[in-house]
Amino acid sequence: MAVQSALVPAVLGFLLTGAVRLANGRNHGPRVAGAAVILSFGVGYFLIIGIPPLPPDGAFHKLIYGAAGGLVVGFLLDFFRLPPFVRWFLFPAGCGALLYWLEYPGVESAGFWVLSGLGAMWLASIVGLWRLEGEREAGLNPVVKLMIAALGLAAVTMLGDAPVIAQLAIALAASLFGFTMWNWPTNVFPYGATLLMGAGGALFALAWMAALYHPMMSLPALAVLLLVFFGDIAAKHMHLGESRAANAAAPIVLAAVCCVPVLGAVALAYFVAAP
């Protein structure tokens, strides 16, 4: 189980990052290398879930198609160097469409409170977009946030009796770790729409599925995980300096800070799950 959830996606994340970079040349390769994350996650998905039918007949099957769609859109945005503000339109629109699709056809007859819950989930993705885009020029920071949030989601969903979602979240975090190994201590491949639309979309889709389909899930714990995306605010107060060693240490410090809300979410999920 650990091999298919963590080891295979991590190794593929590292190998495919280099392969995608080489396949797309010197000009385009660095910007789209993040495609390796969802490609590696996809392999982990196939090992855990299997090959999904077409058309998909459930949320878990829709997940990988949604992630693939996000990957294609993000890849095109980065490949053609479209300005970052385009993400502010496409990511919310894509998240709204994916959330609707996950709940279809039940969403068409949903009541006020169900629609309010779906709206809150959509707004959570906008908060994530805001915090990730605010750090898009800060090296590894957005990738670190996504990775720690995925690990936190894995822990919370395991406690919430959703082991399959936990395995998929681990696979996503491992894929991001493989990508990170190319970018530490020196950032080589920039964060862009490929990572945002692919990995970010997959992360929020997993969180939505946990909230929608698992009654034992702690919704407050999932909400606390959103604080991971604010970790850079606290990390900046540590004033590491501008030396090479400080730049290398900055992602590690950010990861440690982001672990604080993760620990809070895990504790909350544990007490909710306790008999």
Contact 167, 1 (CB under 8 A): yes
User: Cα(258)–Cα(251) distance, rounded to whole angstroms?
Assistant: 10
| 23 pLDDT more than 80 | yes
Q: How much is the pLDDT for 5?
A: 78
Residues written for the chain: 275
Query: Which tens digit of pLDDT belongs to each residue from 3-14?
Result: 667 889 999 999
Cα distance between residue 156 and residue 167, in whole Å: 12
110 CB neighbour count, 10 Å cutoff:
13
pLDDT at position 107 is 67
- What one-character DSSP code corresponds to residue 53? P
CA 8 to chain centroid, in Å, comes to 18
Burial class (CB in 10 A: 0-12, 13-18, 19+), 93: exposed
> What's the total number of domains in the chain?
1
Does the pLDDT of residue 163 top 80, yes or no?
yes
The answer on pLDDT for 2 being more than 90 is no
Which is it for the CA torsion 103, 108, 109, 110, positive or negative?
positive
Q: Which residue has the higher pLDDT, 237 or 66?
A: 66
- The alpha carbons of the chain give a radius of gyration, in whole angstroms, of 18
Going by pLDDT thresholds of 50, 70 and 90, the confidence category of residue 108 is low
CB 197 within 8 A of CB 90: yes
Q: What is the DSSP string of 29-44?
A: HHHHTTHHHHHHHHHH
By CB neighbour count within 10 A (0-12 exposed, 13-18 middle, 19+ buried), where does 184 fall? middle
Chain position carrying tokens 């950010």: 254
Average per-residue pLDDT in the chain? 90
pLDDT, tens only, 135-147: 877 779 999 999 9
Least confident of 74-83, 132-141, 166-175: 132-141
Higher pLDDT, 4 or 168: 168
Range of the domain at 182: 2-273
Task: Give the pLDDT confidence score for residue 1 in this predicted structure.
Answer: 59
Residue with more model confidence, 69 or 248: 69
Q: In this predicted model, what pLDDT tens digit does every residue of 238-258 receive, in sequence order?
A: 777 777 777 888 899 999 999
Token pair of 217, please?
């899930």
Split at pLDDT 50, 70, 90, the class of 103 is: confident
Is cis: bond before 105, omega within 30 of 0? yes
**Placement of tokens 């406690």 in the chain:** 159
- Nearest of 274, 158, 175 to residue 222 by alpha carbon: 158
* Structure tokens that stand for 53 in this block: 């039918």
| Half-sphere exposure of residue 71: CA atoms within 13 angstroms, side-chain side | 19
